[in-house]
Chain A
Amino acid sequence: MDGRLETDVLVIGGGLAGCFAAVGARRSGVDVVLVDKNYVGRTGSSVYASGMGLYNPDWGDDIEEWLEQYSRVGEYIVDRSWAKILFENSYARHRDLVDWGFTYYKKDGSVGTLTPGEEPERPLWLKSRFRNKCTLAMFGSKDKMIHVRKAVLDSGCRILDRVMVTDLIVEDGRVAGAVGFHVRTGEFVAVQAKATVLASGMVSFKGSGFGRHMGTGDGQAMAYRAGAEMKSMEWGGLMYCIKDCDSVIVDGPTWEEDSSQDNVTNALGERFLGDEGNPGTVTLVLWPQEVHAGRGPIYHEPYGVDPEKYREAIVEYEKKAEGPWITMLDRAGLDIFNDRLEQITAYVGARPGGGVKIDEECACSLPGLYAAGDASGCGLGGAAYPAGGTGMNKAAVTGHIAGENAVKYAKKVENIQIDDSVIEKYREMTFGPMRRKSGFSTDHVLKRVQQTLFPYEVHMVMHGRRLEAALTMVEFFRDHLLPRMRAVDLHDLRKAHEVRNMVQCAEMILGASIARTESRGTFYREDYPERDDENWLKWILFKKEGLGMKIWTQEVPEDSHGDTSTPYEERYQLKYRRS
C-alpha cells in the first residue's frame, strides 16, 4: 500500500491554527505530521490576514471592558469564558510569532520586531469602526507565514504539502487519522494517528473577494460525516467588494478617522448607515436590506474625503495588508477615489466562530479529534464579528491549545490496528469521482451550488420558506449530482472533493439557519425580524443522524447575557427595519 504513515499527532491544514498546533504538539516530543492541500507557508486565509488582536494587562487593557465589548458587538451570544481564554493567551502566542520572525508596523511607520512592553501601532480605522479598546498588532511582510513554516520544520514536525485530505478514519468510535491523496502525484495517503487536529480553515463557496477560496469547509464536512457535533454554523459572515473588480474588498482601508463604511451609499445617493453610533460590523447587515427595500444597488462613494489623502491611506494600507487593493483597481481602470463604484457581496459563508464543536481543551465530541482556528466552533464569534483581529487570535490560541491536548490524548492511547481492507475502502471513496467514465463536471455542480446560495434572499435577507427551498435544492444536489460527479484529472479530483464538502456545508448552514427563528447581529430573517432574548440566547448545535441533521440548542451561560433589563432599543443599537 502506497503512502501509509503512522504518527502520534496528525494536523490537517497548515494555516496559523495548524502550525501552532503542530509546534505546540512537538514541544512534548511526540511525532507530528502536518498535511495541507496547498503549500504550507503560502496558503490559508492566514496569509492574507494582517492584524492580530492583542490583549495585554501591562498596557492597561481591562479584561472586563474587552469582554463587555465582545458581548455587546456579538449581541450576547459570545461565550465569555472562551473570549477570556482568547485574551489571556493572545500575548504569549504573539510573542511566539515575534520569536519566529514576524515583523511589525510600528507607531513611527517603520517595520521591525517589537521589544517587550512596547505598544504596537493601533490603526485608526478600528477606532471608528468598532469604537473599541482593542490593541491590534499589524504584521508586515508578505512572507510572514514562511517564518511560521520554518518554525514548524525547526520543531521537527514533518510537513506533507499538496495532500488533499478527503476523509477522517473512524474506527471503534474513535478518530484514528485521515486519508487523502497527493494533488500532483496522485499517490494515496493514509495517515494513522493517535490524535488528529482539524485546522482546515473556513467554509466558503469560492465566491467573490480573495483569501478565502481555499476554505471550502473540508474539515467541517469531514467531521460532520464522521459524526462530530457542530456549533454555531448559521449564516452571518458578511463582507463586500467592488463589483467590477471583485477581488477588492474595500472593507478595511480608510481615510484618517473615518470608517470605510462612511463611504457607502444607496441608489438614491443616500448615506443610509447614518451618523448614529456605529455599533460595529453589525451595520453590514443593512446593505442588503437597502436593496430589499428597492433602494439598491449599493455604491462605494467617497464622502467628504480628500481623494489624494484617501489614495495615500489606501496605498499605505496595501503595503501592510495582503490585499490587492489599489493595484487591481488601477488595472481595472476604476477610480475609487472619485467615482461611485457598485459593491456586491464578497464571501458567502458561515458566521465567524462556527464550525466543529470544541470544548475548552479544543476537543471535539469524537474521541481522538481536536479542532482549531476557523474550522472550530466555540461560540466565540457570537452573532457578529466581535472585533478586528479575532480570526488570527483565535487561530493562534486554539491551535496551541489543540496541539497540547492532542498530545495528552495521544500519550494515553495506542494506535488502532486498521485492516488493509478498511483502508482500501477509503481509497475507493477518495478516487471514486475519477473512476467514472462520464457524469456531471465539477464546475457544473459548483455553479449550481453558487446559484442556489448566492442570492441575497438566501443568506442575507432570509425567510424560512426561502431557506427551506434552498435546502431542498442542496439535498437534491447531494442525492443526485454528487454521486454522478466526475473528475477528469487530479486537479479536478481535488475540486470534486471540495464541491462535495461545500454541498455538505451548505446543508448544515441552511439547516442551522432555518432553526434560528429570530434575527441577531448580522443574521437577519424578515419572517422573524427582531432579536428574541426570551428564546434565543442560545447556540445551535447539530450532528448527522441518518441522512438528516439532528438539531438542538445550548443555553448561552448567564454571565454572557449582558444586562437583560436594559430596554431593547438601548441594548440593540442597530435597528433592522428602517422602512
Chain B
Amino acid sequence: MPIEKIDHELCIGCGICQDSCSLDVIYMDESGKAYARYPEDCVACYSCEKDCPAEAINVSPQRGRPVPHPW
C-alpha cells in the first residue's frame, strides 16, 4: 500500500496530512493521530509526507489500485 506507515509515536496530531490529502484517504483516529483509512485510493502523490512537520509518514511509490496501461 502506498502509505506504508504513519508513525504514531512521531505523529503530533496536527492534521496537516489529512488536509493535504486530496483523495480523502487520511483521517484522524480517536487518539487524535492520523491514519490511512482508505489506502486503496492513495495515488502516491506524496503530499502528506512532504507536508508532515514531524516526518512521521512514509509513502511508497506503489499505488493502492493499479491503473490499466496504455500499451
Q: Do A and B come from one complex?
A: yes
Which residues of A approach B to under 8 Å, CB–CB? 38-39, 41-44, 47-48, 142-143, 161-162, 183, 206-208, 210-211, 213-214, 243-248, 288, 291, 296-297, 322, 324, 327-329, 331-332, 344-345, 348, 443, 450-451, 454-456, 460, 491, 494-495
Contact flag A454-B68 (CB < 8 Å), given A39-B19, A47-B47, A142-B50: yes
Which of B22, B43, B67 is the one whose CB lies under 8 Å from A38?
B22
Q: Report yes or no: B71 in contact with A297, Cβ–Cβ below 8 A.
A: yes
Are A206 and B67 in contact (CB-based, < 8 A)? yes
Q: Are A243 and B45 in contact (CB under 8 A)?
A: no
- Cα separation A450 to B70 with both chains bound (whole Å): 10
Q: Which residues of A contact B71 (CB under 8 A)?
A: 288, 291, 296-297, 344, 455-456
Additional A-B contact list (5), CB under 8 Å, known A38-B22, A451-B68 = A207-B67, A344-B69, A454-B70, A491-B37, A491-B41
Q: A161 to B38, alpha carbons, bound, how many Å?
A: 19
Contact A455 B68 (CB under 8 A): yes
15 contacts between A and B (CB under 8 A): A38-B21, A39-B19, A39-B20, A42-B51, A47-B47, A143-B51, A210-B43, A210-B45, A213-B43, A322-B50, A329-B61, A345-B69, A454-B69, A454-B70, A495-B41
B69, A247: Cβ atoms closer than 8 Å: no
**B22 contact from A44, A332, A443, A454, Cβ within 8 A:** A44
A246 to B46, CA, bound (A): 12
A494 in contact with B61 given A344-B69, A454-B69 (CB within 8 Å): no
With A44-B22, A494-B24 already in contact, the answer to whether A324 and B69 are too (CB < 8 A) is no
Contacts A39-B19, A246-B63, A331-B60 known; A142 to B51 CB distance under 8 Å? yes
B51 pairs with A248, CB closer than 8 A? no
Of B18, B19, B44, B69, the residue contacting A210 (CB under 8 A) is B44
**Which residues of A lie under 8 Å from residue B24 when comparing CB positions?**
38, 162, 183, 491, 494
Within the complex, the shortest CB–CB distance from A366 to chain B, in Å, comes to 28
Task: Give which listed residue, A43, A328, A455, contacts B44 with CB less than 8 A.
Answer: A328
Chain B residues contacting A460 (CB-CB under 8 Å) are 70
Mask of B24-61 contacts with A, CB within 8 angstroms, 1/0: 10000000000001101101111100110000000111
Whether the pair B70, A455 counts as a contact (CB closer than 8 A) is yes
Assess whether B23 is interfacial by the CB under 8 Å rule: yes
Residue in B19, B22, B46 whose CB lies within 8 Å of A327: B46
Q: Are A332 and B61 in contact (CB under 8 A)?
A: yes
What is the CB-to-nearest-CB distance from A211 to chain B, in angstroms, rounded to a whole number? 6
> Within the assembled complex, what's the spacing in Å between the Cα atoms of A244 and B62?
8
Complex CA–CA separation, A173 to B37 (angstroms): 42
Beta-carbon contact of B23 and A214 below 8 Å? yes
B70 engages A42 (CB within 8 Å):
no
Cβ of B8 < 8 Å from any Cβ of A?
no
**Nearest A residue to B15, CB-CB:** A39
Q: How far is the CB of A217 from chain B (nearest CB, A)?
A: 15
B contact residues around A345 at 8 Å (CB):
69-70
Collect the chain A residues with CB atoms within 8 Å of residue B69's CB.
Answer: 243, 344-345, 454
A379 to chain B, nearest CB (A): 27
Task: Find out whether the CB atom of B43 lies under 8 angstroms from the CB atom of A247.
Answer: yes
Cβ contacts under 8 Å, B40 to chain A: 443
Given A206-B67, A344-B71, A328 and B51 contact (CB-CB distance below 8 Å): no
CB distance from A346 to the nearest CB of B (A): 10
Among the listed B22, B50, B63, which residue makes an inter-chain contact with A247, where contact means beta carbons less than 8 Å apart?
Answer: B63
Q: Which of A161, A208, A248, A329 meets B67, CB within 8 Å?
A: A208
A43 CA to B45 CA, complexed, in Å: 11
Shortest distance from the beta carbon of B11 to any chain A beta carbon, whole Å: 17
Q: Which of A42, A214, A244 contacts B19 (CB 8 A)?
A: A42
Most buried by A among B37, B43, B51, B60: B43
Interface residues in B4-22 (C-beta closer than 8 Å to A): 16, 18-22
Please determine whether A211 and B67 come into contact, CB atoms closer than 8 angstroms: no
**B61 and A331: CB pair below 8 A?**
yes
Residues of B within 8 A of A243 (CB): 69
Q: Which residue of chain A has the shortest Cβ distance to B63 in the bound complex? A: A246
Contacts of B23 in A (CB 8 A): 213-214
Chain A residues, Cβ within 8 Å of B43: 206, 210, 213, 247
- Expressed in whole angstroms, the Cα–Cα distance for A162 and B20 within the complex equals 12
- In the complex formed, the residue of B with least CB distance to A456 is B70
Nearest CB of chain A from residue B50's CB, rounded to whole Å? 6
B44 touches A344 (CB 8 A): no
Chain A residues with Cβ under 8 A from B21's Cβ?
38
Inter-chain CA distance A162–B15, complex, in Å, is 14
Q: Please, how many angstroms separate the alpha-carbon atoms of A328 and B2 in the complex?
A: 11
A443 touches B65 (CB 8 A): yes
- Chain A residues whose C-beta falls within 8 Å of the C-beta of B20 in the assembled complex: 39, 42
Q: Which residues of A contact B22 (CB under 8 A)?
A: 38, 42-44, 47, 213-214
Q: Which residues of A contact B37 (CB under 8 A)?
A: 491
Q: Which residues of A contact B61 (CB under 8 A)?
A: 244-248, 324, 328-329, 331-332
Closest to B4 in A: A331
Contacts of A142 in B (CB 8 A): 50-51
Q: Which of B16, B19, B67 contacts A450 (CB 8 A)?
A: B67
Give every chain B residue within 8 A of A207 (Cβ-Cβ). Answer: 67
CB-CB under 8 A from B47, the residues of chain A are 42, 47, 322
- A213-B45 contact given A38-B22, A344-B70, A456-B70, CB 8 Å threshold: yes
Residues on the B chain within 8 Å of A454, using CB: 67-70
Measured between alpha carbons, how far is A47 from B48 in the docked complex, in Å?
Answer: 12
Q: In whole Å, how far is A296's beta carbon from the nearest beta carbon of chain B? A: 6
In whole angstroms, what is the CA distance A291 to B70 when docked? 10
What's the least CB distance linking A275 to chain B, in Å? 25
| Complex interface: chain B residues within 8 A of A443 (CB) | 40, 65
Taken together as a complex, chains A and B put the C-alpha atoms of A162 and B24 apart, in Å, by 9
The docked-state distance in angstroms from the alpha carbon of A328 to that of B71 is 23
